[in-house]
C-alpha cells in the first residue's frame, strides 16, 4: 500500500467550512470569554447546530458519522483559535462519547448518544483525583455493590465540562485488592443522580473559557444499567479512551502551532509594510523556519496517528480481541504525538512572542492568550513526563 498523506476533496471542503464558521462566529467572541472566565454556552449551541458535538457518532444515533480524520480537522481548526473550545469539544466527544461507542451496550447507546450527539447534553470524563494524577490507577473513589446497583463515594478533580455536563463517564474502584486491572469500573453518571454534586471550580492560568471542576460523590447510587463495559474492566476503558484523547490533543496543539506561525508571518508582513526591517533579519527568519519545520513534521505525525486510531477503534468496537502490537503501536504513537506536538506549539508561541516583543505579552493580544493556554497541553491527559515514560518503557519492553 502506498503512503498517501493527503486529504480527500471532501475533507478539504470540510476544513474550509469549519474554518469559515469558526473564524466568523467563534473567534470574535473568544477574548471576552477568556477575560470573564465564562463557559461559552452561546458558542457551544452554535457549534452543536453545525453537528460538531456528534461528529464521529454513527448516523443511526443522531451523529454525523464522520471519520477520525474529520474529527482531527475540526480539533485542529478549533485549537488554532482557542484551546478552551477545543477542550470543551474534546472532553465531550473524545472522552465521553467515544467510550460509550466503544464499550456501551445498545441500550446505553440509544439512551445517551442522541442527546449527546446533538449537543443538547454535554458530556465529561472523570478519572483524576487529588491522589491519582500521574498515578492514575490509584483511585480512592469507591464503588460498593449494593444489590444490582453500586454506591459511589469519593471525589474527582480537574474535570473538564463537569459543571455543564448531563452525563459523565466516571471511574471508581470496585475492589482495591484486585488492582487496576480487575478492580476499577467505569460508570455513566447522570447529573441529577442523588449524592452527586459539583464542587470547587478552578481558577486557571489559561483555558479560561473551559470550566474545570471538582465532582463529589456521597453515597451516589448508580443502577447497573449505567455500568460502562464489564465490572472490573474500567481501567482498560480509560486507557483506550485516552489513547484517542491524546492524539486529538496533539492535533489541537498542531492548530495552535500553525496559528502562532501564521500570526508571526502576519506581524512581520505588517512590520514590513510600515517600513520595518524585521523580515530581513536572519535571527527572525531562522526562528520562523524552525517553527515551520516542526509544524510540517507534526502534521504528518498527527494524521498518521489518527488513521491508526481509526483502525484500532474499529477493532475495539467489533468486540474482537485487540492485537497487542496494534494496541502498543497506537498507545506509543499517541504518547509521542501528544508530547511532541504540545512542545512544538509551546515553542511556536514563544517564538511568536519573541517576534512581536511587547505587543506579544500585552493583555488582549491573541498570542498572549495562546501563551497562557499553551502550558496545559503539556500537562493534561498525562504529563509529558508520563508520556516519555510510556514511550521509553514500551521501547525497552519494560512493563508500565
Partner 1 sequence: MNNLTSSNEEIDMIKDVIKDFGENEINPITSDIEINSEIPSSILEKVSELGLYGMLGSSEFDGAETNFSTFIHAMLELAKYSPALSALLMFQNVFSVQLLTKYGSNEQKEDMLNNLNTGKKIGTALIGDDGSTLNIRNINTEALDEGDSLSISGNKKFAFNGEIADYFIVLCNIGKGLGFVVIEKGNQGVSIGKPINTVGLRGNKSVPVSFYSCNVPKTNLIGLPENTHKIINSIQESSWLGIGAISTGVMESALSQAVKYSNERKQFSKPIISFEAIQSKLANISTDIETSLAMLEKVSRLKDNDEDILRQSAMAKISITEMAQRNTKQALLVHGGYGYIKDYPIEKTVRDAETLKSICDSNDDLRLIVSKPFIN
Binding site for partner 1 (CB under 8 A): 128, 131, 133-135, 138, 157-158, 202-207, 212, 281, 283-284, 346, 350, 353-354, 357-358, 360-363, 368, 371-372, 375-376, 378-380, 383-385, 388-389
Please list, residue by residue across 196-212, b when 16 or more beta carbons sit within 10 angstroms of its beta carbon and e when fewer do: bebeeeeebebbbbbbb
Tell me whether residue 297 or residue 361 sits nearer to partner 1 (CB atom).
361
Nearer to partner 1, 130 or 223 (CB): 130
Active site residue 166: no
- The residue whose grid cell reads 536572519 is 282
By beta-carbon proximity to partner 1, the closer residue of 51 and 382 is 382
If the CB atoms of residues 243 and 373 are measured against partner 1, the closer one turns out to be 373
CB of 334 to partner 1, least distance (A): 19
CB of 353 to partner 1, least distance (A): 6
Q: How far is the CB of 397 from partner 1 (least distance, A)?
A: 20
Match 474499529 to its residue by C-alpha cell.
314
The kind and range of the H/E element at 168 are strand 167-173
Comparison of 46 and 347: residue with beta carbon closer to partner 1: 347
| Cell numbers 489541537: residue | 252
Task: Check the CA dihedral 350-288-74-303 and report its sign.
Answer: negative
Quote the least distance from Cβ 97 to partner 1, whole Å: 23
Please identify which of the residues 49, 378, 381, 394 carries the catalytic annotation: 381
Nearer to partner 1, 176 or 224 (CB): 176
State in angstroms the smallest separation of the CB of 383 from partner 1.
5
DSSP, collapsed to helix, strand or coil, labels residue 144 as: strand
What does residue 40 show for φ and ψ, rounded to 5 degrees? -85, 70
CA distance 95 to 93: 6
Confirm if 247 and 236 have CB atoms less than 8 A apart: no
Smallest separation, CB 379 to partner 1 (Å): 6
Closest CA to 364 of 138, 78, 6, 35: 35
Contacts of 129-133 spanning 24+ positions with Cβ under 8 A: 129/154, 129/155, 129/156, 129/157, 130/155, 130/157
Q: Yes or no: say if 222 and 143 are a contact pair by the CB < 8 Å rule.
A: yes
- Which residues does the annotation mark as catalytic? 381
Amino acid at each position: 500500500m502506498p503512503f498517501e498523506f493527503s486529504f480527500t476533496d471532501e475533507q478539504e471542503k470540510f476544513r474550509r467550512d469549519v474554518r469559515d464558521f469558526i473564524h466568523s462566529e467563534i473567534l470574535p467572541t473568544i477574548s471576552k470569554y477568556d477575560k470573564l472566565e465564562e463557559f461559552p454556552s452561546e458558542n457551544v449551541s452554535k457549534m452543536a447546530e453545525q453537528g460538531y458535538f456528534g461528529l464521529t457518532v454513527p448516523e443511526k444515533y443522531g451523529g454525523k458519522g464522520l471519520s477520525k480524520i474529520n474529527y482531527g480537522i475540526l480539533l485542529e481548526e478549533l485549537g488554532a483559535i482557542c484551546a478552551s473550545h477545543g477542550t470543551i469539544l474534546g472532553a465531550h466527544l473524545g472522552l465521553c462519547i467515544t467510550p460509550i461507542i466503544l464499550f456501551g451496550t445498545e441500550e446505553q447507546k440509544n439512551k445517551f448518544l442522541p442527546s449527546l450527539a446533538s449537543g443538547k447534553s454535554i458530556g465529561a470524563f472523570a478519572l483524576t483525583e487529588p491522589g491519582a494524577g500521574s498515578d492514575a490507577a490509584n483511585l480512592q473513589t469507591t464503588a460498593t455493590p449494593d444489590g444490582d446497583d453500586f454506591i459511589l463515594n469519593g471525589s474527582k478533580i480537574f474535570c473538564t465540562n463537569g459543571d455543564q455536563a448531563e452525563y459523565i463517564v466516571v471511574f471508581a474502584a470496585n475492589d482495591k485488592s484486585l488492582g487496576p486491572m480487575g478492580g476499577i469500573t467505569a460508570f455513566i453518571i447522570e447529573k441529577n443522580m442523588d449524592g452527586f454534586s459539583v464542587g470547587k471550580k478552578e481558577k486557571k492560568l489559561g483555558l479560561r473559557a473551559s470550566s474545570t471542576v471538582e465532582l463529589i460523590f456521597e453515597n451516589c447510587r448508580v443502577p447497573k444499567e449505567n455500568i460502562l463495559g464489564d465490572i472490573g474492566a474500567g481501567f482498560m476503558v480509560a486507557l483506550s479512551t485516552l489513547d484517542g484523547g491524546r492524539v486529538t490533543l496533539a492535533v489541537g496543539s498542531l492548530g495552535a502551532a500553525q496559528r502562532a506561525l501564521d500570526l508571526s508571518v502576519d506581524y512581520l508582513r505588517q512590520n514590513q509594510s510600515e517600513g520595518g526591517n524585521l523580515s530581513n533579519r536572519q535571527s527572525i527568519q531562522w526562528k520562523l523556519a524552525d517553527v515551520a519545520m516542526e509544524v510540517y513534521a507534526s502534521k504528518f505525525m498527527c494524521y498518521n496517528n489518527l488513521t491508526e486510531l481509526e483502525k484500532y477503534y474499529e477493532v475495539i468496537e467489533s468486540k474482537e480481541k485487540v492485537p497487542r502490537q496494534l494496541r502498543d503501536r497506537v498507545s506509543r504513537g499517541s504518547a509521542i504525538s501528544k508530547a511532541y506536538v504540545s512542545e512544538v506549539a509551546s515553542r511556536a508561541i514563544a517564538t511568536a512572542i519573541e517576534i512581536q516583543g511587547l505587543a506579544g505579552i500585552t493583555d488582549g493580544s491573541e498570542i498572549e492568550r495562546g501563551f497562557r493556554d499553551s502550558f496545559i497541553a503539556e500537562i493534561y491527559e498525562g504529563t509529558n513526563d508520563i508520556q516519555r515514560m510510556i514511550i521509553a518503557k514500551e521501547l525497552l519492553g519494560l512493563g508500565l
